[in-house]
Amino acid sequence: MFADELKALRRLGFRHVLLQILNFASVLASGLMIWKGLGLITNTESPIVVVLSGSMEPAFYRGDLLFLTNPPNQRYEIGDITVYKVPGADIPIVHRVLETRDLVSNNKGMVAASPLAQEQLLLTKGDNNHIDDIELYQGLEWLERRHIIGKVRGFLPYVGYVTIAMNDFPQFKYALLGGLGLLALIQRE
Amino acid sequence: MAPKSRKAANGSANPSGSTSGEKSPSKQAQVEGETAVLVDAATTHPGLNLAPSAMAREEVKVNNASATDMKHACDDALKRFLSRPELFKQIHTHTDVRLALGWASVLVSAGTGFYGYKVEFEKSKPVIWAGLILYILLTVAQALYAYFVEGDVVFVGKRKTFDKRIVTERITVSSKTIPSTPSAPCPSYALSLSYVRSASGGKTLLGKGRAGAERPHNAFFDAQGVMDQEGFERWVGGIVGRVMQGPSE
């Protein structure tokens, strides 16, 4: 099937093969760098996430794509939709902030005046759940700022199903990657 | 071997399959003209053999609707022709710089990705910033190099001969596709060569030459997309011979 292309590759020599592999590798590298750059700009480790459960219906359904930012200088208010990861659990959860509390630090008898100086504690609950998330916190009573991955700024419906499909059927992911690789190796710019 | 060279020979006598009748007389004259240049060049430059190689070659078949495919096929045939041992030795500097910059940027991004995977987010931020900026610099450098320094260059070759003194010759070949216009419906392959001949390590300039030519693609590719390599090599040999003669002593 690819006899012509293989013959052409053999004829063109080692440098050419290196160039073609470089084509493929640089597509992957630029994708990775765009992802990392986006994460740095939005100050979150995962700027785009997919909703897996129905606990935020009717706002977000399973398969929606969410865009997150994590502004370091702003407080999280009641009503913000946050994505958080409890240490010990491996999947992040998308729920709304129900209560906030400040952990006031008493430094030599003085309290800092700025509202941002205090550590913020949060309690969340999914819109579609009857009870708040205390049971999901794995022993914690409140979520701290450092557990929060980010705040939802926007969303795209249905697009996340591609990621869900690739996670549930890994063959699909490898087939896609293999197809991309073949295309990059054979095509010349 | 025989069937393939028969196909090439057929192609050279009759490259544009259908309109054979009226083309052959002028084509024959063209072939004769080109061979005359080759003979001339061979006398002034010792050991130079610009005639198409007699050995059998693999058939080259491309999609003749795609101008980029045809240009790449012509470029490859050109490189194969000029890299023959009795002609030029290819200098790979442009390719090597592109490979070095490209692979460096890939390795930087792989390292940054791996570091970000191992170390948790807040602590890894400075290193990831550094990696990202380095990657952007390398990618921009590669793009600028390819656009400004490399440009259209397809082949850079060097040749050393011993003729009372060591003579170094350097040839740079660039090519591009001239798109089709309403008056010329077939896109053309435009070749431009620049040639320098010097002695004693490049300090004495013996001769310089520039030449350019273009041919529509249907001179080299038939209706099935098979390339007439012999005719192409003869054409290229003619231009190279002409530029090597050039205004020189």
Q: Give me the helices (H) in B66-120, please.
A: 67-82, 93-118
Alpha carbon distance A117, A97 (integer Å): 20
Strand partners, B190: B176, B214
Cβ contacts of residue B26 below 8 Å, gap of 6+?
none
The answer on pLDDT for B22 being more than 60 is no
Read off the pLDDT of each residue in B226-244 and give the average, rounded to a whole number: 84
Cβ <8 Å between B121 and A45: yes
**Identified catalytic residue from A95, A105, A132, A147:** A95
**Whole-number percent of chain B with pLDDT over 70:** 76
The answer on pLDDT for B14 being more than 60 is no
The answer on pLDDT for B23 being more than 80 is no
The answer on pLDDT for A65 being more than 60 is yes
Q: What is the pLDDT of residues B119-149, one digit of tens each?
A: 988 889 999 999 999 999 999 999 999 999 8
Cβ-based contacts of B98 with chain A (< 8 Å): 19
Alpha carbon distance A150, A80 (integer Å): 10
Selecting from B72, B103, B113 the residue whose C-beta is nearest the C-beta of A22 gives: B103
Interface test with A, best of B132, B136, B177 (most A CBs within 10 A): B132
Cβ-based contacts of A72 with chain B (< 8 Å): none
Q: How many CB atoms lie within 10 A of CB B193?
A: 23
Q: What is the pLDDT of residues B56-78, one digit of tens each?
A: 677 778 887 888 888 888 888 88
Confidence tier at B4 by pLDDT (50, 70, 90): very low
Q: What is the pLDDT of residue B114?
A: 94
Q: How far is A68 from chain B (nearest CA, A)?
A: 15
Catalytic residue flag (residue A55): yes
**Looking at the whole model, is its pTM more than 0.95?**
no
Q: Are A143 and A84 in contact (CB under 8 A)?
A: yes
Q: What is the pLDDT of residue B144?
A: 94
The answer on pLDDT for B210 being more than 50 is yes
Catalytic residue flag (residue A53): no
Report phi then psi at B14, rounded to 5.
-145, 65
Strand partners, A101: A121
- Nearest C-alpha neighbor of B144 from the set B189, B81, B202, B101: B101
Cβ contacts of residue B3 below 8 Å, gap of 6+?
none
User: What are the Cα distances from residue B82, in Å, to A35, B69, B89, B237?
Assistant: 44, 20, 8, 9
Selecting from A4, A22, A32 the residue whose C-beta is nearest the C-beta of B102 gives: A22
Q: What is the pLDDT of residue B58?
A: 75
Confidence tier at A133 by pLDDT (50, 70, 90): confident
State which residue of chain B sits closest to A18, comparing Cα positions: B99
State which residue of chain A sits closest to B99, comparing Cα positions: A19
Strands (E), chain B: 89-90, 153-163, 165-178, 188-199, 204-216
Strand partners, A156: A65
Q: Are B238 and B16 in contact (CB under 8 A)?
A: no
- CA B59 from chain center: how many Å? 18
Interface test with A, best of B109, B134, B136, B177 (most A CBs within 10 A): B109
Strand partners, A84: A93, A148
Cβ-based contacts of B58 with chain A (< 8 Å): 7, 11
State which residue of chain B sits closest to A9, comparing Cα positions: B76
Which position has the token pair 């590298």?
Answer: A29
Q: What is the pLDDT of residue B91?
A: 87
ipTM score here? 0.83
Cβ contacts of residue A77 below 8 Å, gap of 6+?
A97, A100
Cβ contacts of residue A149 below 8 Å, gap of 6+?
A44, A45, A46, A49, A68, A70, A82, A83, A84, A85, A92
Alpha carbon distance A78, A98 (integer Å): 6
Interface test with A, best of B90, B114, B135, B147 (most A CBs within 10 A): B135
Cβ <8 Å between B76 and A22: no
Cβ <8 Å between B132 and A37: yes
Q: Which amino acid is at B117?
A: Y
Cβ <8 Å between B109 and A33: yes
Read off the pLDDT of each residue in B111-126 and give the average, rounded to a whole number: 91
The answer on pLDDT for B9 being more than 50 is no
Q: What is the pLDDT of residues B154-175, one digit of tens each?
A: 889 888 888 777 888 888 888 8
The answer on pLDDT for B188 being more than 90 is no
Read off the pLDDT of each residue in B26-52 and give the average, rounded to a whole number: 63
Q: Are B178 and B152 in contact (CB under 8 A)?
A: no
Confidence tier at B20 by pLDDT (50, 70, 90): very low
Where is A99: in which H helix or E strand? strand A93-103
Confidence tier at B204 by pLDDT (50, 70, 90): confident
Confidence tier at B3 by pLDDT (50, 70, 90): very low
Q: How far is B105 from chain A (nearest CA, A)?
A: 8
Q: Are B90 and B82 in contact (CB under 8 A)?
A: yes
State which residue of chain B sits closest to A10, comparing Cα positions: B58
